[in-house]
Structure 1
């Protein structure tokens, strides 16, 4: 990720406002520790949130979806902590 970020010109980095990404800490750290991207908001992609939830709660899809809804997974994403 860092290698790719290094290829972007400064004006493109300045125009990035949001990163939607995998929940892997390496990706988060790459963006958070990049000085020209301090302004960018990071959120986790809904697909990855649901994937992790389903892996931790192996149930039939319909039951899993009901659990996601009960936990408010349809709410807008918030910036990653």
Structure 2
């Protein structure tokens, strides 16, 4: 099993979350190289927008939880 992990590609979603966009683009290009009409830049921009949206939503949820547990005078 350890030997097979060497050949497995990293997820483009994980790479975008770690701000490794050039590597994510290379993985997408390699994984979909035989698909006609596949636009790597467009797909990468969708992934980036989705990850940024999730970060924004998670940040709002954390601030709402913080507001619940803080008093009015704090």
Instruction: Give TM-score, length-normalised by structure 2.
Output: 0.30
Hey, which of these two has a bigger chunk of helix by percent? 2
Higher relative contact order (CA 8 A, sep 6+): 1
Instruction: Give TM-score, length-normalised by structure 1.
Output: 0.28
